[in-house]
Amino acid sequence: MKFIQYQIGDIVQMKKKHPCGSDTWEVIQLGSDMRVKCCGCGRIVLIPRPKFLKGTKKVLNRDVEHDRPDIVARSEESTLGD
């Protein structure tokens, strides 16, 4: 099983559609409950994390290159201090 770490602002596609017809949601809050906002109608819903993880199909807007420079910058900071 692949572990996915969600971040605030991620757009995720869920397995089931919202009654408005959209299946895309924006993650607004992380924790034991996930607060998500429907990208179709703007409804905000609080979902327990296990139910959210089971119902998530994929992350649509994940930018891998955005995360990578931050890691490089941290490693450069540790070498610059020596």
* Sign (positive or negative) of CA dihedral 19, 17, 52, 40: negative
| Tens-place pLDDT, residues 46-61 | 999 999 999 999 998 8
Give the C-alpha separation, 25 to 51, whole Å: 14
Predicted TM-score (pTM) of the model is 0.69
Segment 14-42, tens digit of pLDDT: 999 999 999 999 999 999 999 999 999 99
Average pLDDT along the chain: 81
